[in-house]
Amino acid sequence: QSISELGDLRGKRVLVRSDLNVPLDGSTITDDGRIRASAPTIKALSEAGARVIVCAHLGRPKGTPEDRYSLAPVAARLGEVLGSDVTFATDTVGESARAAVDSARDGDVVLLENLRFNAGETAKTDEERAEFAGQLAGLADVFVSDGFGVVHRKQASVYDVARLLPSAVGGLVETEVGVLKRLTEDPERPYAVVLGGAKVSDKLGVIDNLLQTADRLLIGGGMVFTFFAAQGYEVGKSLLEADQVDKVKGYLDQAKERGVEIVLPVDIVAATEFSADAEHDVVPAGAIPADRMGLDIGPESGVLFAEKLADCRTVFWNGPMGAFEMEPYAAGTAAVAKALVEVTAKGALTVVGGGDSAAAVRQLGFEDDQFGHISTGGGASLEYLEGKELPGLTVLDETGGATGGSDS
């Protein structure tokens, strides 16, 4: 199932699904972590003499080309990271793609334009996806699945194409799954999970699961206000998912029964509006004024969270603690990042999951190697921890990976 089991790749056309969905400011890449993480597999295939055809998505275009979602800037950056030329095809399976593949020599790397410019990529029905998957498969001899960040998507380039070509799992997916397995199968304890980000509704499945596996759950970010509401606190103008309050009350009860410690912030940075220039103060968690919104956890909470992480042997973190992209609300996320760095230095396994958290730690000046592992998957890593079946992984098992091919 690994690339090495695909045999001699010299002269073979290898389609690689990578996750190159990077944040952009105009055409400037603001965090190239996913490109750097994807490069080793591409390089290894190129060095093995394959004609490497990389395919990926960017953002969520609705099945037609849109300039702002072009992968052109990513092709340029990928070339820099690889230290070799990358030919950019200006379409996915059309003339440009075919010409680039036909003229590729052994070791060359081609990047196809954004897969989601074609409606077949994300179509809901098998039939709609099949046509596009067939066209993609027609460009190549074998398929390598290396886009960990998309393995939870049942999409043409992730799922269907693996049923049409002999397929193998790429090195990045192998690494990511290996690390996440250590979290789900007998993690060293204490095991703490820090959850942040805007919405509690995105995290319900994973919280259900973590209440059975983790020892401590530290909650920050926009989702914390729904926890506050569940405790009867006023949250002012803060983000609140009123329809989730009962569910969260249930979590608090379950946590008590199971002996899982839920750690909530004790103070909050509350601002008059969602802006870096807004008037803001630190207020106790239970006293957010009616005309204020919480935009970060406060300094005492930063200290509390660091204390709760200091003796942990395993930590998973997903989601920023506040609106870190604005300087006045970045301290909570920085405090958690620093606590993870310190506990990593003491030998704990720390995993930062999710595009936002990964971008946050880099933007705050931390280096990737200060953490145990920075996952390229946001939704994918959460769904893995939830114990859900991930279509991009199960299809490789079903089709027998490297030795299989179409079973239909």
Which residue in this structure is represented by tokens 């693996």?
A: 162
**Other residues' Cβ atoms within 10 Å of the Cβ of residue 9:** 23
Phi, psi dihedral angles at 150 (to 5 degrees): -115, 5
The answer to whether 77 is annotated as binding is: no
Q: Using CB under 6 A, which of the segments 73-81, 147-155, 301-309, 325-333 binds ligand 3PG? A: 147-155
Q: Is 34 a catalytic residue?
A: yes
356 is in an annotated binding site: yes
For residue 365, the SS3 value is: coil
Among 6, 13, 19, 348, which residue interacts with ligand 3PG (rule: CB under 6 A)? 19
d(CA 90, CA 308): 50
Active site residue 124: no
Residue 373: strand, helix, or coil: strand
Q: Which of 12, 13, 34, 292 is catalytic?
A: 34
Cβ closer to ligand 3PG: 137 or 359? 359
HEC string of 209-271 equals HHHHHCCEEEECCCCHHHHHHHCCCCCCCCCCCHHHHHHHHHHHHHHHHHCCEEECCCEEEEE
- Residue written as token pair 């926009």: 222
Residue tagged active-site, from 319, 379, 392, 401 = 379
Q: Per CB under 6 A, which region of 103-111, 145-153, 185-193, 275-283 contacts ligand 3PG?
A: 145-153
355 classed as catalytic: yes
Distance in Å, CB of 15 to ligand 3PG, minimum = 18
* Active-site residue, 199 included: yes
Return d(Cα 225, Cα 196) in angstroms, integer: 11
Do 320 and 366 meet the contact criterion of CB atoms below 8 Å apart? no
Radius of gyration of the chain (CA): 22
Considering the rule CB under 6 A, would residue 33 count as an interface residue with ligand 3PG? no
> Using the rule CB under 6 A, is 153 a contact of ligand 3PG?
yes
The yes or no reply on residue 150 touching ligand 3PG (CB under 6 A) is: yes
For residue 352, report the phi and psi dihedrals to the nearest 5 degrees. Answer: -100, 120
Q: State yes or no: residue 105 binds ligand 3PG (CB under 6 A).
A: no
Token reading at 317: 């973190």
Binder to ligand 3PG among 18, 21, 87, 157 (CB under 6 A)? Answer: 21
Residue (378 or 404) nearer to ligand 3PG, CB: 378
- Amino acid 64 reads T
Q: Which of 54, 57, 66 is nearest to 22 (CA)?
A: 57
- 21 is annotated as contributing to ligand binding: yes
- Binding pattern to ligand 3PG, positions 350-379, x when CB under 6 A? -----x----------------------xx
Of 81-89, 149-157, 290-298, 389-397, the window that binds ligand 3PG (rule: CB under 6 A) is 149-157
Instruction: Sort residue 401 into left (φ over 0), alpha (ψ -120 to 50) or beta.
Output: left
Q: State how far the Cα of 290 lies from the Cα of 238, in Å rounded to an integer.
A: 9
CB of 344 closer than 8 Å to CB of 167: no
Residue 17 as a binder of ligand 3PG (CB under 6 A): the answer is no
Q: Binding string, 39-78, against ligand 3PG, x = CB under 6 A? A: ---------------------x------------------
Active-site annotation holder among 36, 199, 249, 313 = 199
- List residues with catalytic annotation: 34, 199, 355, 379
Binding-site positions read 19-21, 34, 57-60, 116, 153, 203, 294, 325, 354-357
Contact set with ligand 3PG (CB under 6 A): 19, 21, 60, 149-150, 153, 355, 378-379
